[in-house]
């Protein structure tokens, strides 16, 4: 039984190793962030919370302080480079793509959102003053 458990644990670790390497940066971004977002041609304040879903995928939720305020989700994270990737955003206005470049060393992220692709003028940024959440 111990030999079987050790074999299964080793197989699991080997299978998970490439994914863990890609997640090293994203582990540092878990938690709450504050920042500006372009919403209906004006800049609003937004709170974004990054977490992991039960399967371990990076996911998020955001709250925009508009009148009235509204919430949205960030799903389907697809890494596009070192410490950056695309999410699908969804809220009561619809859905689209947001590209986020994380800079955990500076406690910030730079994002741009759009419908079919991110628009350079559509900001979706965040910063925090506290250390990253421990996962």
**Euclidean distance between CA atoms 100 and 44, whole angstroms:** 18
pLDDT over 60 (residue 15): no
Q: Tokens 């997640």 belong to which residue?
A: 23
Q: How much is the pLDDT for 68?
A: 95
Q: How much is the pLDDT for 21?
A: 40
Do residues 31 and 50 touch, judged by C-beta distance below 8 A?
Answer: yes
Higher pLDDT, 133 or 117: 117
β pairing state of 31-39 and 94-103: unpaired
pLDDT over 90 (residue 122): yes
User: How high does pLDDT run on average in the chain?
Assistant: 84
Tens of pLDDT, residue by residue over 68-104, are: 999 999 999 999 999 999 999 999 999 999 999 999 8
Q: How much is the pLDDT for 112?
A: 98
pLDDT over 70 (residue 134): no
Binned at pLDDT 50, 70 and 90, residue 8 comes out as: very low
Domain residue extents for the chain? 23-127
Q: What's the average model confidence in pLDDT over 28-32?
A: 93
Higher pLDDT, 46 or 19: 46
Backbone torsion region of residue 13, taken as left when φ is above 0, otherwise alpha when ψ lies between -120 and 50, otherwise beta: alpha
Higher pLDDT, 12 or 88: 88
Options 3.30.2310.20, 3.30.420.40, 2.40.128.20, 1.10.275.10; CATH for 23-127 is 2.40.128.20
pLDDT over 70 (residue 10): no
Q: What's the average model confidence in pLDDT over 41-69?
A: 96
């Amino acid at each position: 039984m111990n030999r079987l458990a050790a074999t299964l644990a080793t197989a699991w670790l080997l299978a998970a190793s490439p994914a863990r390497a890609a997640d090293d940066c994203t582990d540092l971004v878990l938690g709450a962030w504050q920042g500006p977002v372009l919403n209906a041609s004006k800049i609003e304040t937004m709170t974004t919370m990054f977490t992991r879903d039960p399967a371990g995928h990076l996911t998020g939720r955001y709250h925009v302080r508009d009148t009235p305020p509204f919430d949205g989700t960030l799903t389907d994270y697809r890494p596009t480079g070192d410490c950056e990737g695309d999410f699908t955003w969804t809220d009561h206005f619809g859905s689209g793509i947001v590209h986020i470049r994380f800079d955990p060393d500076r406690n910030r992220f730079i994002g741009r959102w759009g419908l079919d692709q991110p628009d350079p003028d559509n900001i979706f940024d965040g910063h925090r003053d506290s250390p990253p959440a421990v996962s």
